[in-house]
Structure 1
Amino acid sequence: MLGFDGCFALSCYWVLCFRFALFKKMELILRGTFELFVLFA
């Protein structure tokens, strides 16, 4: 069983990973949209 500090660190780690994954996904979507726009412009 983890202590309170361990649980807190783990939750912070998961939030950071989730935000990073979300950011990368948004970046890929924006880049793809931009490339499509350039192709059809």
Structure 2
Amino acid sequence: VRAGQPIALVGTSGGQGTPSLYFEIRRQGQAVNPLPWLGR
């Protein structure tokens, strides 16, 4: 992934009443806490 490259879309699919975005960060196939990555 490059800086500025879109990696997701946001929308109202999946039965949500408002636009929502779910994301997770994985390292070597395991979900990790995203908080340390958000400041980068």
TM value normalised by structure 2: 0.19
TM value normalised by structure 1: 0.19
Higher relative contact order (CA 8 A, sep 6+): 2
> In terms of Rg, which structure is larger?
1
The structure with the largest strand share of the pair is: 2
The structure with the largest helix share of the pair is: 1
